[in-house]
Amino acid sequence: MNVDSQRAGRTGGRDARRAMRNAPVFDMLPALKRGIPTCDVMDEDQIARIDNASMAILEDVGIVFRDERALSQWRVAGADVRGERVHLDRGLVKQLISSIPSEWTYRARNPARNLNFGGKYSIFAPMGGAPYIRGLDNERRWATLADLQMLLKLTQMSPALHCTSHHIIEPMDVKVSYRHLDIAYSSIKYSDKMFMGMATTERNAEDVVKMAEIVFGPEVLETTPVITGNANCNSPLVWDELMLGAIRAFSSKNQPILCSPFALGGANTPASAAPTVAQLNAEALAGLSYTQVVRKGSPAIYGHFLATVSMKSGAPMAGTPEISLMNFMIGQMARHYGVPWRTSNLLGGAKSFDAQAGYESAMTLNAVLHAGANFIWHSAGWNEGGLQCSVAKFVVDADMCAMGYRMAEGVRWDDFDEAIQAVRDVGPGGHYLGHPHTQANFERGFYMPKLFDDKPFEQWQAEGSVEITARALSYAKRLLDEYQEPKLDEGIDEALKDFIAKRKREIPAEDALNTDR
């Protein structure tokens, strides 16, 4: 059942209403408004200790901006620039980040999918960046553009996923220098939710912002966030030319960009949680400050990617206790500075969708929710440390986001008195299934996980002992069968196609000129 036929069901006859009750709802949930407290693991003195350590790093050690244009902008802005190292005074940093908006509303292609963001508002986006996919057959292979389009359709059908993620997978069948174009076009075409734009280089970022201008009109971007990019800091303490160019492309057009140190705890940060946060905080603040050098008042998001590194293999681990603690701490720092923040969700390091993947993912989900993150990226599909997008995991994760959403909304009180009356009606030794309050409130009262089996063992066994991977893949197929494309305005579609065609003609010549790309 698609969104349109659901709507018909609401005004249609009895059969339609019954069908609606039994069918899953695919309408997007509004941005999550938190109703539970954040897990504040630091007191004010400890927040000050992190802040002070980060600022001292920026002042004394400095941070590398490997980009001539950024260095000259920093000189103009009053920073102490020594070679590539920019020494940032804490006064300058605090003044610059003070102009970052703490909340805004994202506009989506479908205005019903606009999103409150920042403060108490959080949004979930699926994973990004996997070169491999475990597809509908559960086999692992290189991912393709067709896979991306399938995953965009699943995103569109997942109520708790609030926006798409540019390259959910890396479309390995598309030339690297064209990928950002095909990815952005697919994001816009197959979903009417807010989308992300590849910020892999300045040129690519400019291209995707241009495509957003085609969809919304340049004047809309001047006042309204419609797209989000991600720029990674090369920890420790290096912002490189590609990422700084991407920041320029987004910030100059008033579009939000995630300033995300990429911390592999113990490898490119100290082997300890609090000092890792101090380093990462310095890196994020430097990136955020630069967004305001580019354009004062432009929206920006305190980002990070966070893993701890295995002593055995050197590989990033997911779901470990220190990742949770660092999420809580980073949340406190971002709130201290009044800047919305991004984290990563439902991360798995498992190779298949086994119990390890489930544990790791749910550990991350809870960390993220208790930490109070605003932009909750990588929320569906992430396994094998991000090298693999598992389609089975994708649909389960999307439902886990819906469950996390329900938890983070907090406790409902609207039926309290009525339900206490039910306790009096039922009395000692009675049961509630037949009580009118139960019948009226069951679905609102207790979330029913979509893909968890709750049948008795004997029935489960008689039906073939189907584990969650197979159930999830069947469910994904059903979603794809029921998917209906949210039609893109034909004029916009043509303009996007023309732009892409033009860029694909131009890019080979640009690449020949810029061998470093």
For residue 462, state whether it binds a second copy (rule: CB under 8 A): no
Residue with tokens 């986006």: 125
Q: Which 324-343 positions form the footprint of a second copy (CB under 8 A)? A: 324-325, 328-329
Residue nearer to a second copy on the CB measure, 11 or 446? 446
Q: Which 88-147 positions form the footprint of a second copy (CB under 8 A)? A: 132, 140
| Cβ 243 vs Cβ 231: under 8 Å | yes
Question: Smallest gap, in angstroms, from Cβ of residue 288 to a second copy?
Answer: 18
Among 48, 76, 146, 420, binds a second copy (CB under 8 A): 420
| Cβ 301 vs Cβ 257: under 8 Å | yes
Q: Which 19-38 positions form the footprint of a second copy (CB under 8 A)? A: 35-37
Among 272, 485, 489, 501, binds a second copy (CB under 8 A): 272
Q: Which 50-89 positions form the footprint of a second copy (CB under 8 A)? A: 53, 56-57, 60-64, 85
Question: Smallest gap, in angstroms, from Cβ of residue 472 to a second copy?
Answer: 8
Instruction: Name the token pair of 125.
Output: 């986006």
Among 137, 411, 509, 513, binds a second copy (CB under 8 A): 411
131-134: long-range contacts, CB 8 A cutoff, minimum separation 24: 131/169, 131/170, 131/172, 131/387, 132/169, 132/384, 132/387, 132/388, 132/389, 133/169, 133/388, 133/389, 133/390, 133/391, 134/352, 134/353, 134/383, 134/388, 134/389, 134/390, 134/391, 134/392, 134/393
Q: Which 367-396 positions form the footprint of a second copy (CB under 8 A)? A: 367, 370, 384-385, 387-388, 393, 396
Question: Smallest gap, in angstroms, from Cβ of residue 244 to a second copy?
Answer: 14
Among 322, 334, 372, 375, binds a second copy (CB under 8 A): 322
Residue nearer to a second copy on the CB measure, 148 or 326? 326
Among 96, 246, 330, 363, binds a second copy (CB under 8 A): 363
Q: Which stretch binds a second copy (CB under 8 A): 87-95, 160-168, 372-380, 450-458?
A: 450-458
Q: Which stretch binds a second copy (CB under 8 A): 182-190, 206-214, 346-354, 475-483?
A: 346-354
Cα–Cα distance for residue pair 75/84, rounded to 1 Å: 11
Helix, strand or coil, per DSSP, at residue 511: helix
Q: Which 200-259 positions form the footprint of a second copy (CB under 8 A)? A: 234, 236-238
For residue 269, state whether it binds a second copy (rule: CB under 8 A): yes
Question: Smallest gap, in angstroms, from Cβ of residue 358 to a second copy?
Answer: 2
Instruction: Name the token pair of 68.
Output: 């001539």
Residue nearer to a second copy on the CB measure, 76 or 420? 420
Does an H or E element contain 50, and which? helix 44-56
For residue 436, state whether it binds a second copy (rule: CB under 8 A): no
Q: CB atoms < 10 A from the CB of 352, how many?
A: 17
* Parallel, antiparallel or unpaired: strands 257-265 and 305-309: parallel
DSSP assignment, residue 27? S
Which three-class secondary structure string do you get for 439-499? HHHHHHHCCCCCCCCCCCHHHHHHCCCCCHHHHHHHHHHHHHHHCCCCCCCHHHHHHHHHH
Residue nearer to a second copy on the CB measure, 435 or 504? 435
